[in-house]
Amino acid sequence: MNILQLRNLHRAATSRTNKFRESDTVRFYTDFRTALLEGELSHDEFSIADVFDHFVEDGHELRQKFNPNKRVNDSINMELLEDAAYVSTTAFTNITGQIVYSKVMENWNRPDFIGDQLVETIPTQFDGEKIPGVGLIGDKAAIVPEGKPYPMAGLAEQWVDTPQTIKRGLIVGVTKEAVFFDRTSLVLRNAGEVAETIRISKEKRILDGALGISTLYRRNGAAASATYGDSPFDNLAATNALVDYTDIENANLLFDGMTDPITGEPIMVSPDTLIYPTALDMTARRIVNGTHVEQGTYNGTPVTRSPNPLSGRYQFNLLTSPYVKNRTSSSTTWFIGQPKKAFAYMENWGVTVTQAPSNSEAEFSNDVVSRFKVSERGAFAVLEPRYMVKCTA
């Protein structure tokens, strides 16, 4: 789609001679955003200068006013009047807003970020809260004589305190110079870098919590305790380097020892995720995806060959990132478990792009035609560390 086709669609949606309804305009911008996000359209297809020329009345002539050399010869009063005329037009900022938003989401959802795969995202309206729950009843099923009432089961109250949420964000500005010199790529790069900066902050906070760098686990009002250790539960497997399937077995044995802190009953853990530094990527894939294993020596001793014991039973999500080593300072430490049962991200709001209103002070004092604020607010929380095991070499 070219800029003329886009303008014609916009005019059709906003034409008051064609039974205009406000919902038609909303649908136009919604469809435009969806097409950008789903890849049917590319934000690289549209130039900021072209959007200005075609969506602002007398846009081409007004854009020439942004030429610093031309401003010297023009009347100051005339320039101010024309500036006021163009900023009252919302189509330009709405269109560029959708383009900026698509670039923000492209960088925010980069597949090499693994943090969101380690947490259950829990929407919340609170700035830190208690996540309520109940302890297991345990083996307390009572014998009920014929005709007698069933006894009541007593539930042990439990809760986890989550950290306070924090807002993070930055602003992307489109200056008059960016419009005049058609610096579309620069604006989109800035938008992408803003999204990436905020996303990296979230990634590091999630990994710091999931990998045990931050001490965040607070149960029943107690002081924060480490996510991994040997007391009051043992989910730290020292000297358990990731070499073959037996190392995964060693971690599973620790899961077998996990018990409910109230009843003492075993906690059923079904490990579904491996987290490791990039140095262990080939090793992890060989261990998990190998079709068979061999045991024994080669010279003089028979070699026992059998199917990979991990096949069939386990379907691991293999997650690696340079940030794993960056946060742990180790190229050999790895983690196994059910992270989405262990961890949560308490989210007030996800990544949001907000457009500044027209006629702002920044437009007059800084020659900023439009501004877009990118923000998110949330906090990482440890809900139940017994669903994870940390292994060191």
pLDDT at residue number 327 = 97
Mean pLDDT of 189-201: 95
- Percent of the chain whose pLDDT exceeds 90: 52
Q: What is the mean pLDDT of residues 284-304?
A: 82
Measured distance CA(240)–CA(234) in Å, rounded:
14
Both tokens of residue 239? Answer: 């000297």
Most confident of 31-35, 122-126, 150-154, 303-307: 122-126
* Res. 23 pLDDT band, cuts 50 70 90: confident
What would the mean pLDDT of 333-344 be, rounded to a whole number? 97
> How many whole angstroms separate alpha carbon 272 and alpha carbon 344?
16
CA distance 231 to 211: 17
Q: Which token pair is 303?
A: 């070699």
pLDDT in tens, 208-242: 999 999 999 999 889 999 999 998 899 999 999 99
Can you give the pLDDT at residue 88? 39
Section 288-302 average pLDDT: 79
pLDDT band at 76; cut points 50, 70, 90:
very low
Per-residue pLDDT, 22: 64
Per-residue pLDDT at 271: 97
Structure tokens, 363? 């437009």
- Here the tokens at position 102 are 């698509």
Confidence of residue 129 (pLDDT cuts 50, 70, 90): very high
How many CB atoms lie under 10 A from the CB of residue 148? 9
Q: Find the helix or strand (DSSP H, E) in which 184 lies.
A: helix 184-210
What residues have CB less than 8 Å from 150, skipping those under 6 apart?
142, 144
130-185 pLDDT, tens digit per residue, is: 987 655 555 666 788 898 888 776 556 789 999 999 999 999 988 888 888 888 89
What is the pLDDT, as a whole number, of residue 368? 86
Q: Does 78 score more than 80 pLDDT?
A: no
Minimum mean pLDDT among 72-76, 172-176, 252-256, 382-386: which range?
Answer: 72-76
CB atoms inside a 10 Å sphere around CB 247: 19
pLDDT for residue 382 is more than 50 = yes
Residue 87 above 50 pLDDT? no
User: Could you tell me the pLDDT band of residue 111, with boundaries at 50, 70 and 90?
Assistant: very high
Average pLDDT, the chain: 86
Helix and strand counts by DSSP (H, E) for the chain: 14, 13
Highest mean predicted confidence (pLDDT) among 40-44, 103-107, 290-294: 103-107
The first and second tokens of residue 97, run together, are: 């807003």
